[in-house]
Amino acid sequence: MFNNAIRLSVYAVLTYTFISCNSGKAKQAPIAKQDTLTSKRDTPAVDSEAFEIDSNFQNYPLDFINDSAVLKYPARILTTGQFHEDEVTREDEGRSWYGIFMNSAGYYLDSTSLITKRVEDPVSDEKEGQNTGWEVKTSNSDTSFLLISGVEGLSKRKIVPATIRKKEILPGESTTFSYNGITYTLYATGNKHKESKESNFFLVSNYRLFIKATINGTERNQMLVSSRVCDDTMIEILFAGDIDGDNIPDLIINTSYHYNAIVPTLYLSKPAGDKEILKVMGWHVSVGC
């Protein structure tokens, strides 16, 4: 197995290891191709009669399996850990980076240097010493949550996390949280159907996640994520807190709609302007087994 990255939940001091191990076929075909993400179901969820899929439905942010979509956003996003060959680039080594880190005192933002090394990918490398994989570390010894490059105006600062009790919000559900005296509501629309009468697992289609709040006397209500179908996974809030220093909570959301990928996506409030709450700055795709 190819250990990919480490993420920390804002709700508790927990560490997750992302496992990434592409098949040979997936490595031959770039991430931009749909067939790199195959369902583990005998009958893929997208073929289920329970799904009501709008043929005109568009994913937002832009489809994460389309490499060119990432280039439309200003930020480059990474995490620490080990990755496949196409998940890190040589250009990343020369970028200026800020990291969201955590230690015993809590979360903070600080500049950092990226340390990369070519390592063996036990799944993709066919010959000893081929070393097509990447190992990503930072010069900061504290635990790294997310690495950000290409965002202007960031500076070293403490980050107070928001407490969001519901990380995965199904269609018809909502959750509220308060931050710096303002109440924010996250809510979702779409279709959900139980996989079976006995199951607690829902099949989800035409999914949309929204955030709304009244800021400076004006109600703002915007869509954050949409997905035609969620295949054995759900959109998940990974972190909420003021990253860019304007007293409005920023979000990191796993926008992956497929169980075989993790896509941490950065939403910042300062670049969003007066009409929206948050703006997508960038994301990073890593593929699992």
76-134: per-residue pLDDT in tens? 999 999 999 999 999 999 999 999 999 999 999 999 999 999 999 988 888 988 999 99
Cα gap 282→269, rounded to integer Å: 13
Cα gap 13→264, rounded to integer Å: 18
pLDDT of residue 196: 80
pLDDT of residue 231: 83
pLDDT above 90: residue 278:
yes
pLDDT of residue 67: 66
Q: Which one has a higher pLDDT value, 244 or 22? A: 244
What would the pLDDT profile of 15-53 be if each residue is shown by its tens digit? 223 333 433 222 222 222 233 343 333 333 444 455 677
pLDDT above 50: residue 209:
yes
- CB-CB contact of 88 with 31 (8 Å): no
Q: State the average pLDDT for the chain.
A: 82
The two tokens of residue 218 are 């004006």
pLDDT above 60: residue 12:
no
Least confident among 97-101, 120-124, 135-139, 276-280: 120-124
Cα gap 288→278, rounded to integer Å: 28
pLDDT above 70: residue 159:
yes
Q: Which one has a higher pLDDT value, 39 or 200? A: 200
Q: Which residue has the tokens 């790294």?
A: 144
The reply to whether omega before 61 is within 30° of 0 (cis) is: yes
- CB-CB contact of 72 with 64 (8 Å): no
Percent over 90 (pLDDT), the chain: 61
Tell me the average pLDDT across 234-261: 95
Q: Which residues of 216-255 are buried (b: 16+ CB within 10 A; e: fewer)?
A: eeeebeeebbbbbbbbebbbbbbbbbbbbeeebbbbbbbb
Tell me the average pLDDT across 48-59: 72
Cα gap 160→163, rounded to integer Å: 10
pLDDT of residue 19: 34
The dihedrals phi and psi of 23, each to the nearest 5 degrees, come to -80, 165
pLDDT above 50: residue 13:
no
pLDDT of residue 200: 80
- CB-CB contact of 78 with 93 (8 Å): no
The two tokens of residue 189 are 């629309």
pLDDT of residue 120: 92
The torsion angle over the Cα atoms of residues 87, 10, 105 and 280, rounded to 10 degrees, is 50
pLDDT of residue 28: 23
pTM (global) more than 0.85: no
pLDDT of residue 9: 31
Least confident among 29-43, 64-78, 169-183, 238-252: 29-43
